[in-house]
Amino acid sequence: MIVGGIVTAVGMVLTLIAMIPLFNSHDQMPSYFWALAMVTGIGLAVLVYGFWRAARARGKQIRAAAAEFDSQRMR
């Protein structure tokens, strides 16, 4: 999840850099900055995937603890 946060932050900075010519017509930026700004979406996807994996792992832990509790209670 840390990697996703870093990639998202870098993408947001690149998005701000790509938008500079919209506000200051004297600055000319190469067109590849628009493509680099799409890194934000990749970072968000990595974050969502990390949260999904963490939730699945936590769910497995909870189910295992509940099964353990039930097996002890039945004795």
Structure confidence by residue, pLDDT tens digits, 9-31? 999 998 888 888 888 878 787 88
Q: What is the pLDDT of residues 24-53, one digit of tens each?
A: 878 787 888 788 888 899 999 999 999 999
pTM of the model: 0.70
CA distances from 65 to 51, 53, 54, 55, 75 (A): 21, 19, 17, 15, 16
Could you tell me the residue range of the domain that residue 43 belongs to? 2-73
Residue 73 pLDDT > 80: no
* Count: domains in the chain: 1
CA dist 38 and 29 (Å) reads: 16
Quote the Cα angle for 4-9-10, to 5°: 100
